[in-house]
Chain A
Amino acid sequence: MNWRCIFPKTLARIIVAAVIALSLCFCMQSKAYATITLRAVMHSDLKIIDPIWTTAYMSSYYGYMVYDTLFAMDSKNTVHPQMVQDYEVSDDKLTYTFTLREGLKWHDGASVTSDDCIASIKRWGSKDSMGQKLMEFIDKFNVINSKTFAIKLKEPYGLVLASLAKPTANVPFIMPKRVADIPASEQITDYTGSGPFVFAFDEWKPGDVTVFKKFKDYVPRIEPADWGSGGKVVNVDRVEWLSIKDHQTAVNALIEGEVDYIESPPTELLPLFEREDNITTRTLDQLGNQFILRLNWLHPPFNNVKARRAVLAAIDQISFLQATIGNPKYYKECPAIFSCGSALATDKGTEILMKSDIKLANKLLAESGYDGRPIVLMHSTDVDILNNLGPVVADKLRSAGFNVDLQSMDWQTIVARRAKRDKPADGGWNIFMTALATADIMNPIVSVGLNASCDKAWFGWPCDARVERLRDQFARATSLEAQKSIATELQVRAMEIVTHAHGGQYYRPSSWRNDKLSDVIGGPFPIFWNLTKAK
C-alpha cells in the first residue's frame, strides 16, 4: 500500500504549512532587552505587600527593596545610621534626637519628613514585639523641624537604636505619613516608599513575578554597603522576583542561564552546581537559621516541667541537622539560645540539650508521672527543611518513653492548628517544629520563643514570671556587659523551664551565575543593590 494513500492531502497541507510557519517564526525571534534585568528565584512568592501587617519573610524582603530604615545593622551587629544623618543622645539617656539625610525622597517625588518617620515608628510599634517594647518606654515624639525629630523616653532604654535597626520581621520601615497613619491591623494599598527600588504594581503577577524598578532619585550613603547599612547603590534597571515552585526547574533554569540567582536552592540539589564553572554557591546569610521545637504548656504531659526536660534530654541537635541539612558545610551545633555568633551567645545551661541521654530522659519522664497518653507531634511534609525533622524527633521521643502520635500535614495546617488551645485529642497539639531566622532570635526581646507571658506568649504559651522579669531587665540595661549577664541568666532559666528547644543552626546558601553577576553581598535578607550584572 502506498503511504500517500493513507494521509489525506488536506492533512499533508496543514503539516507543510505548519513547518513553513515555524521556520518563519525562527527568523522573528525577539531582540534582546536594552535594560539590565536581574532575574531572581526567591524561596516563595510575594503575597502581602505590607511588611508591617505580616511577619512573612518575603514581605520583609519586599520592604527592603521599596523602603528604607532610619538605622541599619551591619555584618558585625553594629548599628549605623541609614536614613538618619546625625543623631544625639542626651546625657540622661532620655532624649534621642535624629536629623534626616538631605535628598531623601519618596517615589512620588515628595521629601521625606520627620512626620513620616514618627508615624512609621508608631505603626510599627503597634505591631512588632520589639516595637511594642520600645513604645512602652517612649513618653512622646517631638517634631523639631521637617528634617529633625526627637524621641523622649520615660526612663532609659538600652535598645532604642537596636530596635530601629531591627533587621528582620517586622522591620521598622519608614513610610509616608498618609500610609503609616493607617492602623497596623489594616493592609496598606499605597506602595510609595523611599527605598532604592520602586515596586511596579502594574507588572506584579501574584504567584508568578514581582517587578522592581530602580529608583533613579535615590541618594545612597557614601559608606560601603554592608547588610542593610551603607550605600545602597543600584546597578541594574530592573529586578524580577520569579516564583518557580519546582526546585529542579529553578536549578535547571540557573544552569541554562534563564535566571541569574536562586535565593535558597535545596541542599540536596547543590551538587548539581558543583560541576558548573559559571555558578557560584555561597552562604550570604551568615546568621543562618535555627530549628525550634515548641512544646505546648497548656496540656499534659508538657504542663509538667519534668516532662519538658525529658524532651530536652532525649533530643540532640546533630540528629536534626544531619537529617535535614546533611552537609556539615551548611550547619553547626549551637548551644546558644540567642544563636552562635551573636553578642549574647553563651553555652551556659544548655548541656542537657547538646547530647541525647535516653536514660536521663526515661528517668525524668517517670518522675513527671506521665501516664502514656499519646502526644500529638505536628509534622510538616511540604516544607523541605522541616520534612525530615518530624520522624527524627518522634524516634527520639519514643526512645525516651513517650507515646508519640506523629501527625503529618501541610505547613499551613500547622500554622492554623498551633494557634488552637484545645486539648490534643480535640484538635489541639503537643509539639510542633519550625525554623526561625537567627536575626529573629538574637536577643530576649525579639525572640518569640522566649516570651513567657502566658496567654500573650507565642504558641505553646509558656508562663514564667522570672523569665518576664529578666526580659524587662534586659530591656532596661544600657551596657552590653549588663545585657550579656542578663541574657546568660535568661538562657539558663529558659532551659530550666523549657520555653522551647533550639535544634541547631543551619545556613541556606544562595547560587548565582558568576558570568553575569558580580559583587553580590550577603545579609540576613537577599540584597539586590551593590551587585552588578554584565550586559
Chain B
Amino acid sequence: MFGFVVNRLLATIPVMVMVTIFVFLLLRLAPGDPAAVLAGDNGSPQQIIEIREGLGLNQPVLVQFGTWILGVVRGDFGKSYFFKKQVSELILLRVEPTIALAITTLIITILVAIPIGVIAAYKHGTWIDRIIMALSVGGFSIPAFVLGYLLIYLFAMKLDLFPVQGYKPLAEGFWPFLHQLILPSLTISAIYIALIARITRTSILEVLGEDYIRTAYAKGLTPNNVLFKHALRNAAVPIVTVIGIGVALLIGGVIVTESIYNIPGIGRLIVDAVLGRDYPTIQAIIILSSFFYVIVNLLIDLTYSLLDPRIRY
C-alpha cells in the first residue's frame, strides 16, 4: 500500500510539469494583454508599454517561464498583476467558500441520492422507480443557472426563507454560514443527485441478481439488512468512483453557481483572472486544481481497498 501511494505521488511530478508548461504557453498564446487591461480605458499606448515593462512581459517567454517556475518551486506563485497581493493569499481567501459549498453539496447529494437510488432499485419497474428516474433526468437536464434562479425566486424572494446572495464565513456562526449555502448547494446537488442515484440504482440492480443476495434472503435477513449491508456495500465501488470524480469537478465546476449566488469562491476568482489576463493567478489555480484532481483520484483508488477486500495494492 505504502509503495503504491509513493509511486502514485511520484507519477504526479511529470503530470504537474506538463501542466505548468502547457498552462504557461497557452496563456502567452491566447489573445489579450494584462498591461492594456491595467492601463484602463483611457490609457495611452505609452502607458501600456511602461506597464508591460514593469511586469516583465516584454522579456522573452523563456525568461518569463524561468522566473516563474523558480518561484513555484519555492512555493511562491507570484503576485497578482491587479491586486498586488500574493496569489497564494488570494486563493486562500477563496478556498473556504468553495470547499464549504463542495462539502454541503456532497452531504446533500449523499443523503438524498443513495437512498433514492436504493429505493429505485428495490422498487425496480414500479411507478416509484419511474418517478425517481424521471426526476433524475430532470436533474440532469435543468442547467444550474435556470434552477438557481428558480430556487431564488421561490425560496428567497417569494417565501423569504433564504438570502438571495452572498457568503458568510463559518467564523460568523454556523447558522449564518449554512443559511447562505443551502440554496447554492441544492442548485449544484441536483445534477449530482441525478447522477449518483442512477449509478446507485444500476449497481444495486446488478448486485441484487447475485446468488449471495438470494442466500441472504433465504437466511431470513430483513430487506433492510440485505440492501444496506450486503447489496449496497458490494455496489459501492462504482458509486464511490462517481462521488470522487464529482468532488474533483465540484472544486472547479461551480463557476455558474458562484456567480448566481455571488459566492466569492475559486470559480469566480478564475473567471475574473481570465477576463483580466491575470497570468500568475490563472497559472496558480490551474496547477493547484490539477494537483487536487490527482490527489482525489489517489484517494478514490485507496477507498476501493477499504470497500472491497479483494482489491489490494
Residues of A within 8 A of B (CB): 1, 4-8, 11, 14-15, 22, 25-26, 28-30, 45, 47-49, 54-57, 59, 127, 129, 169, 185-187, 189, 205-209, 242, 244-246, 248-250, 252-253, 255-256, 258, 382, 409-410, 412-413, 415-419, 434, 436, 440, 448, 456, 458-459
Are B45 and A55 in contact, with the CB atoms below 8 A? Answer: no
Are A56 and B41 in contact, with the CB atoms below 8 A? Answer: yes
Are B54 and A185 in contact, with the CB atoms below 8 A? Answer: yes
A8 and B114 alpha carbons, distance in the complex (Å): 12
Residues of chain A within 8 A (CB-CB) of B83 are 47, 206
Are B42 and A5 in contact, with the CB atoms below 8 A? Answer: no
Residue B208 at the chain A interface, CB threshold 8 Å: no
Residues of chain B within 8 A (CB-CB) of A434 are 41
| Interface residues as binary, B172-186 with A (CB distance below 8 Å gives 1, 0 otherwise) | 111110110000000
Residue B115 at the chain A interface, CB threshold 8 Å: yes
Partner of A246, one of B82, B84, B85, B262: B262
B290 to chain A, nearest CB (A): 22
Partner of B262, one of A29, A30, A127, A244: A244
Residues of chain B within 8 A (CB-CB) of A54 are 38-40, 43
A418 and B48 alpha carbons, distance in the complex (Å): 11
Supposing A169-B40, A412-B276, A415-B33 touch, asked if A456 and B46 sit within 8 A by C-beta, the answer is yes
B110 to chain A, nearest CB (A): 10
A357 to chain B, nearest CB (A): 31
Q: Can you identify 6 A-B contacts, CB atoms within 8 angstroms?
A: A4-B224, A5-B223, A206-B82, A258-B166, A412-B36, A417-B31
A410 and B276 alpha carbons, distance in the complex (Å): 10
Residue B165 at the chain A interface, CB threshold 8 Å: yes
Most A-side CB within 10 Å, residue of B33, B35, B164, B261: B164
Residues of chain A within 8 A (CB-CB) of B82 are 47-48, 206
Are B262 and A249 in contact, with the CB atoms below 8 A? Answer: yes
A22 and B161 alpha carbons, distance in the complex (Å): 13
Residues of chain A within 8 A (CB-CB) of B45 are 419, 458-459
Residue B206 at the chain A interface, CB threshold 8 Å: no
Residues of chain B within 8 A (CB-CB) of A206 are 80, 82-83, 85, 90, 93
Are B275 and A410 in contact, with the CB atoms below 8 A? Answer: yes
Are A6 and B173 in contact, with the CB atoms below 8 A? Answer: no
Nearest residue, chain B, Cβ from A27:
B175
Residue B236 at the chain A interface, CB threshold 8 Å: no
A409 and B33 alpha carbons, distance in the complex (Å): 13
Residue B227 at the chain A interface, CB threshold 8 Å: yes
Supposing A6-B118, A207-B269 touch, asked if A25 and B40 sit within 8 A by C-beta, the answer is no
Residues of chain B within 8 A (CB-CB) of A205 are 93, 264
Residue B7 at the chain A interface, CB threshold 8 Å: no
Residue B140 at the chain A interface, CB threshold 8 Å: no
Residues of chain B within 8 A (CB-CB) of A209 are 264
Nearest residue, chain A, Cβ from B269:
A207
A208 and B96 alpha carbons, distance in the complex (Å): 13
Supposing A205-B264, A252-B156, A412-B32 touch, asked if A245 and B44 sit within 8 A by C-beta, the answer is no
A28 and B179 alpha carbons, distance in the complex (Å): 12
B156 to chain A, nearest CB (A): 7
A504 and B235 alpha carbons, distance in the complex (Å): 66
Most B-side CB within 10 Å, residue of A252, A409, A436, A458: A252
Nearest residue, chain B, Cβ from A447:
B42
Nearest residue, chain B, Cβ from A245:
B259
A355 and B32 alpha carbons, distance in the complex (Å): 35
B276 to chain A, nearest CB (A): 7
Nearest residue, chain A, Cβ from B160:
A256
A440 to chain B, nearest CB (A): 6
B263 to chain A, nearest CB (A): 9
A255 and B172 alpha carbons, distance in the complex (Å): 24
When A and B form their complex, what is the total count of cross-chain residue pairs whose Cβ atoms lie within 8 Å? 166
| Interface residues as binary, B159-172 with A (CB distance below 8 Å gives 1, 0 otherwise) | 01001111000001
A412 and B93 alpha carbons, distance in the complex (Å): 25
Most B-side CB within 10 Å, residue of A208, A250, A382: A208
Residue B282 at the chain A interface, CB threshold 8 Å: no
Within 8 A of A (CB), among B252-280: 259-262, 264, 268-269, 271-272, 275-277
Are B178 and A25 in contact, with the CB atoms below 8 A? Answer: yes
Partner of B40, one of A59, A253, A417: A59
Supposing A8-B224, A249-B261, A253-B165 touch, asked if A129 and B44 sit within 8 A by C-beta, the answer is yes
Residues of chain B within 8 A (CB-CB) of A249 are 152, 164-165, 259-262
Residues of chain A within 8 A (CB-CB) of B42 are 55, 169, 436, 440, 448, 458
A30 to chain B, nearest CB (A): 5
Within 8 A of A (CB), among B43-78: 43-48, 50-51, 54
Nearest residue, chain B, Cβ from A415:
B36
A528 and B269 alpha carbons, distance in the complex (Å): 27
Residue B111 at the chain A interface, CB threshold 8 Å: yes
A275 to chain B, nearest CB (A): 13
**The 10 A-B residue pairs with the shortest CB-CB distance in the complex, in nearest-first order:** A416-B33, A55-B40, A25-B175, A208-B264, A56-B40, A55-B42, A47-B82, A206-B83, A415-B36, A416-B36
Residue B228 at the chain A interface, CB threshold 8 Å: yes
Supposing A5-B222, A6-B224 touch, asked if A419 and B41 sit within 8 A by C-beta, the answer is no
Partner of A258, one of B39, B118, B163, B264: B163
A149 and B296 alpha carbons, distance in the complex (Å): 65
Nearest residue, chain B, Cβ from A246:
B259
B254 to chain A, nearest CB (A): 14
Are A185 and B164 in contact, with the CB atoms below 8 A? Answer: no
A250 and B166 alpha carbons, distance in the complex (Å): 10
Residue B304 at the chain A interface, CB threshold 8 Å: no
Are A207 and B223 in contact, with the CB atoms below 8 A? Answer: no
Are A28 and B224 in contact, with the CB atoms below 8 A? Answer: no
Supposing A249-B261, A413-B32 touch, asked if A26 and B175 sit within 8 A by C-beta, the answer is yes
A209 and B169 alpha carbons, distance in the complex (Å): 14
A54 and B38 alpha carbons, distance in the complex (Å): 7
A8 and B228 alpha carbons, distance in the complex (Å): 7
Residue B157 at the chain A interface, CB threshold 8 Å: yes
Residue B100 at the chain A interface, CB threshold 8 Å: no
B270 to chain A, nearest CB (A): 10
13 more contacts with CB within 8 A, not counting A186-B54, A245-B271, are A4-B224, A6-B118, A6-B224, A7-B115, A11-B111, A28-B175, A49-B84, A54-B38, A206-B80, A207-B269, A249-B164, A415-B41, A416-B36
Residue B291 at the chain A interface, CB threshold 8 Å: no
Residues of chain B within 8 A (CB-CB) of A417 are 31
Residues of chain B within 8 A (CB-CB) of A382 are 275
A258 and B46 alpha carbons, distance in the complex (Å): 43
A26 and B174 alpha carbons, distance in the complex (Å): 10
A197 to chain B, nearest CB (A): 19
Supposing A252-B164, A448-B42 touch, asked if A415 and B37 sit within 8 A by C-beta, the answer is yes
Residues of chain A within 8 A (CB-CB) of B164 are 249, 252-253, 256, 258
Nearest residue, chain B, Cβ from A459:
B45
A4 to chain B, nearest CB (A): 8
Residues of chain A within 8 A (CB-CB) of B172 are 30
